[in-house]
Every structure is written in structure tokens, then in C-alpha cells.
């Protein structure tokens, strides 16, 4: 049975936002689901940023990620090795990977390039679920995740702006989008 990987990242930021090139991943959440959106496996890790290791008060409040979570985390180069090892066991059944919007894909590609990391995700197609949901629902413009869940008659489960919980909620919309 084919599976989809839904990924969400949390990253360093401040009020008003930063350009992607200034952001660093601080949490990776991924859920591996079947086409019905049922979780088969998951991955979650905090990541220690290298350029700006101190989280801004805005970032801590938004994500509910503490400085202690980040201080005790490994850098992305180590976390990504763990992620790739975890993903490797699922690669034969992986149909594609998805995220809510294009930020996560762009951030990962930037980090892979900057840190010279290899990823199995380069070998499978990416789907922007935010765009696909808007198109499927014939919306004038894409919605945020919470608004999309509400439009689909669902409530957000868990804490928003936490990587695994955002990925799991995004995955709940996948069956409404897949043909």
C-alpha cells in the first residue's frame, strides 16, 4: 500500500517574520500516512540552530518550544542523518511527500544546499497541499491550516505551531485532496 509523508518544520523567527535565508530549522515533524490519512509511523526531533542559537521571545511564544529544548538538541546535520535512516525503511512504499504550503520544501532545500546534505525526498514528488486544497475547493486564495480544517468540518488537534502536530493535522486533509 502506498504511503505519503507529510512534513512540517518550525524555524527561528521574530515578530514580522524573517526571510527564509535567515531562518533555521528548530523542529522537524513528519507523519507517514496511508492514502486514507491514517498514521503508519512518525518522526519528531528538535534541532539546534547554529547561526542564531538563542530563540527570540516571539519564537518561543509562537511555537511553545523552550530554549532548553533547543540547547539539548543536535544540529541539523545529525538530526537529518537520523531522519534519513528513519525514512529509508519506508522508501519502497513512499508515493510522495507533502507540506502545507511551499515554505517547508524551500527551507529544506536551502538547508540541504547550505549544509551539503543528501535527501531521499529529492527522489519523490512534493505536493503543496495548501494549493491543492484551495484548487479542490475552488477557493479564490489558499487558506491557513486551521481555516482549511474548519472548512472541512474538522477541528485542529493539539498545539498549533508544533511540527508533528501540524504535520498530523495537515495529513488529515490529504484524503480530501488525493485523487
pTM higher than the cut 0.85: yes
At 23 the pLDDT is 96
* Residue in this structure with the C-alpha cell 538547508, named with its chain if needed: 111
Q: Supply the DSSP symbol for 36.
A: T
Quick one: which H or E segment has residue 11?
A: strand 3-11
Q: DSSP letters along 75-118, please? A: EHHHHHHHHHHHHHTTGGGEEEEEESSSHHHHHHHHHHHHHT--
Domains of the chain: 1-174 (3.30.420.10)
Closest C-alpha to 7, from 100, 94, 89 = 100
Judge residue 6's burial from the number of C-beta atoms within 10 Å of its C-beta, 0-12 exposed, 13-18 middle, 19 or more buried: buried
Whats the size of the chain, residue-wise?
179
133 and 177 Cβ atoms separated by less than 8 Å: yes
At 179 the pLDDT is 76
14 and 24 Cβ atoms separated by less than 8 Å: no
Compute the distance between CA of residue 70 and CA of residue 49 in angstroms, rounded to an integer.
Answer: 8
Compute the distance between CA of residue 120 and CA of residue 27 in angstroms, rounded to an integer.
Answer: 19
Diameter over CA atoms, the chain: 45
User: Residue-wise pLDDT tens for the chain (179 aa)?
Assistant: 899 999 999 999 999 999 999 999 999 999 999 999 999 999 999 999 999 999 999 999 999 999 999 999 999 999 999 999 999 999 999 999 999 999 999 999 999 999 999 999 999 999 999 999 999 999 999 999 999 999 999 999 999 999 999 999 999 999 999 87
Amino acid at each position: 500500500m502506498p504511503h505519503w509523508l507529510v512534513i512540517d518544520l518550525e524555524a527561528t523567527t521574530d515578530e514580522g517574520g524573517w526571510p527564509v535565508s535567515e531562518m533555521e530549522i528548530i523542529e522537524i515533524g513528519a507523519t507517514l500516512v496511508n492514502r486514507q490519512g491514517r498514521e503508519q509511523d512518525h518522526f519528531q526531533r528538535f534541532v539546534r540552530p547554529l547561526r542564531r542559537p538563542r530563540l527570540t521571545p516571539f519564537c518561543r511564544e509562537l511555537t511553545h518550544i523552550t530554549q532548553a529544548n533547543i540547547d539539548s538538541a543536535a544540529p541539523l546535520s545529525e538530526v537529518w542523518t537520523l531522519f534519513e535512516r528513519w525514512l529509508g525503511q519506508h522508501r519502497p512504499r513512499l508515493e510522495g511527500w507533502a507540506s502545507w504550503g511551499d515554505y517547508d520544501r524551500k527551507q529544506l532545500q536551502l538547508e540541504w544546499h547550505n549544509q551539503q546534505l543528501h535527501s531521499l525526498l529529492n527522489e519523490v514528488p512534493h505536493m503543496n497541499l495548501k494549493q491543492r486544497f484551495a484548487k479542490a475547493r475552488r477557493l479564490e486564495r489558499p487558506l491557513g491550516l486551521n481555516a482549511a480544517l474548519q472548512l472541512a468540518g474538522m477541528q485542529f488537534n493539539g498545539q498549533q505551531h508544533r511540527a508533528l502536530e501540524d504535520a498530523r493535522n495537515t495529513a488529515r486533509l490529504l484524503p480530501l485532496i488525493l485523487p
